[in-house]
Structure formats: C-alpha cells, structure tokens
Amino acid sequence: MAISQHKAKHSPSGSKYKAGRKKKQYELGSEPTLTKIGETKKKKSRILGGDSKQRLLTVNIANLLDPKTKKSSKVKILNVVGNPANRYFVRRNIITKGSIVETEKGRARVTSRPGQEGTVNAVLVKE
C-alpha cells in the first residue's frame, strides 16, 4: 500500500473522518532512507515539480566545521555515538539530522538531512 501524506483517516479520539476523495498521486510519500556508514552510495529520485533529490544510502565522509577556527574539512566518519531521533539507530549506525558521530577529529553533530540532501554536514562538538 502506498504511503500517503494526506490527512489521517481517523481523528485523535479514534472516530473516522468521512472520506472526501481518494488519494492523489501528488500526496505520495516514500520510506525513510536510513543512511548508514559505508562506501558512499547515492540514489536519485524524482520529486514534485520534476526536480530531483539526492538520497544518501551509505556514507563515510562528512564536511566538518570547526566553530573555533571557522574552517571546514572533509573527515572520515567512524561510527554513530548518539541519535535523538531513535535510540536504536545508534547500534545500527544510522545517520539522521542531529546525530552525534565519531570522526577522526572528534565528536560532531550532523546538521544536514543525509536522506534528503545527499550530503553530511557536521559541526564539531566540544566535550
């Protein structure tokens, strides 16, 4: 069954809304990408308006910004240390926005959405 971004069929109390119409193709959603650590693999998908979106399936390099020196560099991602989106993403090494990753230069917080933007941008976190 297709993932829909349309209004829910049930209200918060559990009662059913009357269906005004059927699902429309422009309301079609997709499964979350769940970017993992590994050799970089991207997937291109079409979005509304005919544009395209880069989805990162696996990645091992991040664009790291050091807030003290204001310099950015490409560093290797070693593993995921924390994830506020889902605590089980840590053991599966899934990177989402807000994840804390261990890099060669220390721990960093991911500021981009890898499954939506196609890059991993991170800011160095002081410990």
Q: Give me the average pLDDT of each 10-residue run along the chain (127 residues).
A: 86 92 88 94 91 94 96 96 95 96 96 94 90
User: Of all helices (H) and strands (E), which one includes residue 83?
Assistant: none
Cβ neighbours of residue 107 closer than 8 Å, sequence gap 6 or more: 81, 100, 101, 124, 125, 127
Task: Note the pTM of the prediction, 2 decimals.
Answer: 0.83
Question: What is the rounded CA–CA span in Å between residue 95 and residue 34?
Answer: 7
Q: Is domain 35-124 in CATH 3.40.50.300, yes or no?
A: no
Q: Where are the domains of the chain?
A: 35-124
Strand partners of residue 8: none
Q: Which pLDDT does position 61 carry in this prediction? A: 96
Instruction: Determine the number of helices (DSSP H) and then strands (DSSP E) in the chain.
Output: 1, 9
